[in-house]
Amino acid sequence: MTNALNECTDEKLVQLYADGNVAAFDVLLSRYKRKVFSYIMLSVKDYDLANDVFQDTFIKAITTIRNRKYSEMGKFSAWIIRIAHNLVVDQYRRSMAENNVPGEVEDELGHTVFDTLPVYDRNVEDVMLESQVLEDVKQLVEMLPDSQRSVLLMRFYQNMSFKEIAEKQGVSINTALGRMRYALLNLRRMAEDNNVTFA
C-alpha cells in the first residue's frame, strides 16, 4: 500500500488523509520534512526551537486537512512552507515581547523586523541549501560595514535579542533594527551585483 501511495500526487495524498488514510500523511511528511525543517532552521538558527516549530507546522497541517479546510489545490509544498513561515513570525513576535522590545518597531525606512523575514517557495529553498550559495553569502557578509555586520552576526549566529544587541553596541533598539534592515538591503544589492541568487 505504501508503495502505491508513493506514486500519488500531493493533492491525492491530502484527499486520502482527509478520508482517514493515516499512511497518506506519513508519505507527505516524508516528502517534505527535510525541506520544512531546513527552512525553519535557516530562519531561527536554533535546533530545539526549529524542532518545536516543525512539530507545530505539521500539527497545524493535520488539523486543517482533517477539518477539510485545505483548499490549496496543487500547491501543498508552498502551503506547508507558508504555515512554517507564519509560525516563525509568531515566534519572533513572542521573543521580542519576552525581551521587552516594542512590537513591530519601525526603522528609518518605515520597515519592521518582520519585513526582513523571507518566504521561500520550494525552488528558492532548494537554492538556499546549496553550499556554494551559502559560501557566497558568507563572503558578502564580510563585505558589510562593521556596524551592520556585527548586528547581523549577533542576531543570526549568536541568537541575541535586539535588546541585547542594542545594549552591547550602546545604541537604541531602533538603531539596532535599522542597522539590521540596512544590512539585509545591502546583502540583497551586493548579491545582485555579484550574481548570487537567494530568491
Which set of grid coordinates corresponds to residue 60? 497545524
Share of the chain above pLDDT 70, in %: 72
Work out the burial of residue 145: count CB atoms within 10 Å of its CB; fewer than 13 is exposed, 13-18 middle, 19 or more buried.
Answer: exposed
Q: Please write the tens of the pLDDT for every residue from 15-28.
A: 999 998 989 999 99
Quickly state the pLDDT bin for 196 (edges 50, 70, 90): low
pLDDT band at 13 (very low <50, low <70, confident <90, very high): very high
Residue range 108-128: mean pLDDT, rounded: 47
Task: For each of the domains in the chain, give its residue range(s) and CATH number, in order of start.
Answer: 1-98 (1.10.1740.10), 105-199 (1.10.10.10)
pLDDT at 120 over 60: no
Q: How confident is the model at residue 96 (pLDDT cuts 50, 70, 90)?
A: low
| 6: Cβ contacts below 8 Å, ≥ 6 apart | 27
Give Cβ neighbours of residue 97 (< 8 Å, ≥ 6 apart): 103
Mean pLDDT for 98-115 is: 49
Phi-psi region of 76 (alpha: psi -120 to 50; beta: other; left: phi over 0): alpha
183-186, long-range: CB < 8 A, 24+ apart? 183/144, 183/148, 183/149, 183/151, 183/152, 184/116, 184/152, 186/144, 186/145, 186/148
What span, in angstroms and rounded, lies between the C-alpha atoms of 18 and 63? 10
Q: 29-53 in b/e burial notation, b at 16+ Cβ within 10 A? A: eebbeebbbbbbbbbbeeeebbeeb
Asked if residues 176 and 183 have their Cβ atoms less than 8 Å apart, the reply is no
The answer, yes or no, to whether residue 130 has pLDDT greater than 50, is no
**Stretch (H or E) spanning 173:** helix 173-193
148 vs 133, higher pLDDT? 148
